[in-house]
Structure 1
Amino acid sequence: MATADAVLVLTGAFDPTADLVIEELNRRGTPVFRADTAWFPSRLALVASLDEAAGWGGTLATDRRSLDLSAVRSVYYRRPTAPEFPEAMSAEARSVASAEARRGFGGLLSALPCRWLPPPGRAADAEYKPFQLRVAAESGLRVPRTLITNSPEAARRFTESVGTSVVYKPFTPIRGTLDGRSVAVYASVLTADDTGDPSISTTAHLFQEWVPKAHEVRLTAVDGQLFAAEIHANSVEAKVDWRSDYDSLTYRVCEPPAAVATAIRRMLDRLALPYGAFDFVVSPSGDWTFLEVNPNGQYGFIEQATGLPITAAICDYLEGAGPA
């Protein structure tokens, strides 16, 4: 069955966030073609040709459905996984095939004249925390004092100069298994003695001043619309990093201060992103401090807890015509 004028959803086999968007698009009667880049090349066939006047056209097909590439209205780029190749291929052949798939298959998709949420290249740039912190400050958001270093002595001096505890957080999510148990590295509060640890020298580390908090805020921005929810932590662990104890959290819809809202939109314009999941600390005096933005962050738990219409806003964007 051919699918035209569709939203192409690129994501893995299990993605509850993508499921929310697909269900809403289905309810609206908008055609959807869901695929994972892991299906290429064994379960996903690509045939595309370039016409000087019409541009790229062709099909992307599984054994059951095909997508008219010339009529893709938008791409929802969630969390696709890497292309998979036969185990019989040598490591060298897989390496070449992977590079060719990235530049050929991925390059063809990026050449389609439609809107993406988010654009993969821009999202990849925005995921660098040093870059987003700089852009946040330049856009008018309050940011915590921050140090990036592999020097234990520099980390200790930074902690002493801050005068309070500091927070260590990894640059990227770190999850895995240890002794058969699922484990994750969350933000942690450190003292000057902790930041003198010799293991800091093994790689880059991010340290920030501890900002006193009344609560935190997850603010999801979609095409200029801002959906903000207070996150109140009710356990010791969650007060440092709320991701460590979801069961202890309560939520409340809120409105960002006008200056913060303006700075958020300015930051997204500078990053050229239509979507961002922002995290803020709100102090007891009401000041908002930017922590980070995830250009493809999860939002379903916020929508479920608060009723904020984030899925609808995403679908409105995906149903729009032409590049953003």
Structure 2
Amino acid sequence: MPTADSVLVLTGTFDPTADLVIEELNRRGTPVFRADTAWFPSRLALAASLDGAAGWGGTLTTARRRLDLSAVRAVYYRRPTAPVFPEAMSVEARNVAAAEARRGFGGLLSALSCRWLPPPGRAADAEYKPLQLRAAVEAGLRVPRTLITNDPESAREFASHIGTPVVYKPFTPIRGTLGGRSVAVYASVLAADDIGDPSISTTAHLFQEWVPKAHEVRLTAVGRQLFAAEIHADSDAARVDWRSDYDSLSYRVCEPPSAVANGIHRLLDQLALPYGAFDFVVSPSGDWTFLEVNPNGQYGFIEQATGLPITAAICDYLEGTDRA
């Protein structure tokens, strides 16, 4: 049986974050096989068999390359897209093919006996904000008072009870086009008239107390290593949500307090994640408040701005040479 030495990178066609990792693995001489699940079944062929205790073996094959599945040491699961089926197939046939691909192709990949960063099932669970907020509390991290509701009156009562400004946040990134223009929904501080808006009844909404901030922190955890950077905003919009105005931001390397670092490790252990991109608010008095963790979040802009060796840590993890 061949030595497990290849890293399988599953991601979309355009992914600068995955590019950073692939370039570093190439520099180290580690074999890399990059694929997108959208290539299956027309551009990516799978053939795998199970033979007793040897486990699953077989190949993934494209027009140019072939991967021996028994030689995979780790999978970097970034942002692959859904399989694409022939347009000539009926809607019903495509639905069946998609379900079979998910359980067959996806199930085979998940059965590989190797490291995953991150494990897709665990990552999918952790993307639920109610789950990660509960887990953060249990891990000992400070969390803003939060309400999830579709009841306008409950939103009014929440705002009245906490006695501070209220922030609305979408559960998932909302981006698209409207009238030919790119639009996005960011966190926003609500005016008093907005808190009981009837449109709240149309779906679930997340409201949190506003936490006074000196700055924010993006902390990237890879295994047991933590890489933290302060984010200082220089515009009104970015002071509410720094993602709304990257041009106004500046960065500074920092160290999390030991209690916060310990809470992060407990949270990752509870969620069974080897990676997380954490967002914290740091108050003027120095208290760190957890906002969220993205189990597959971007880190390249932080590394570029600060020089923190996050790509190297990810590659160490994938190669199995990371620090315990």
Instruction: Measure how far apart 1:222 and its partner are.
Output: 0.2
**Corresponding residue number in structure 2 for 1:278:** 278
Give the letter aligned to residue 150 of structure 2.
N
How far 1:53 moved relative to its partner? 2.2
Q: Which amino acid aligns with 2:171?
A: F
- Identity across the alignment (%): 87
Contact 1:4/1:68, CA 8 A, preserved across alignment: no
- Per the TM alignment, residue 320 of structure 1 is displaced from its structure 2 partner at its CA by 1.1
In the alignment, does 2:303 pair up with 1:303?
A: yes
State the Cα deviation string for residues 2-22 of structure 1 (Å, max 9, x = none). Answer: 997210000000000000000
What is the CA deviation profile of residues 138-176 of structure 1, one whole-angstrom value per residue up to 9, with x for unaligned ones? Answer: 000000000000011110111111112100000000000
1:238 maps to: 238
* SS of the residue 2:228 aligns to: strand
Residues 1:101 and 2:101 aligned together: yes
Distance in structure 2 (CA, Å) of the matches to 1:303 and 1:269: 24
Cα distance in 1 for residues equivalent to 2:19 and 2:199: 41
Q: Tell me, yes or no, if the aligned pair for 1:57 and 1:69 is still in contact at 8 Å.
A: yes
2:17 corresponds to 1:17: yes
Task: Name 1:8's counterpart in structure 2.
Answer: 8
4+ aligned runs moved over 6 Å, structure 1: none
- Matched residues, number: 321
Deviations 1:48-86 (A, max 9, x none): 000102110010000110000011000000000000000
- Return the offset for 1:191: 3.1
Counterpart Cα distance in 1 of 2:114 and 2:49? 17
> Are 1:159 and 1:191, in contact at CA under 8 Å, matched by a contact in 2?
no
SS of residue matched to 1:140:
coil
Residue identity matched to 1:13: T
Q: Give the match for residue 32 of structure 1.
A: 32
Deviation readout 1:248-283 (Å, 9 max, x if unpaired): 000000000000000000100000000000000000
Query: Following superposition of structure 1 onto structure 2, how do residues 1-324 of structure 1 map, counting pairs within 5 Å?
Result: 5-320=5-320
Distance 1:53 1:159 in 2: 59
Contiguous gaps of at least 5 residues in structure 2: none
Tell me the C-alpha RMSD between the 2 structures: 1.3
Does the Cα contact within 8 Å between 1:6 and 1:32 map onto a contact in 2?
Answer: yes
- What SS does structure 1 have at the residue aligned with 2:107? helix
Secondary structure of the 2:63 match is coil
In the alignment, structure 1 segments of 5+ residues that lack a partner are none
User: TM-score, normalising length from structure 1?
Assistant: 0.98
Partner Cα separation in structure 2 for residue 85 and residue 296 of structure 1 = 26
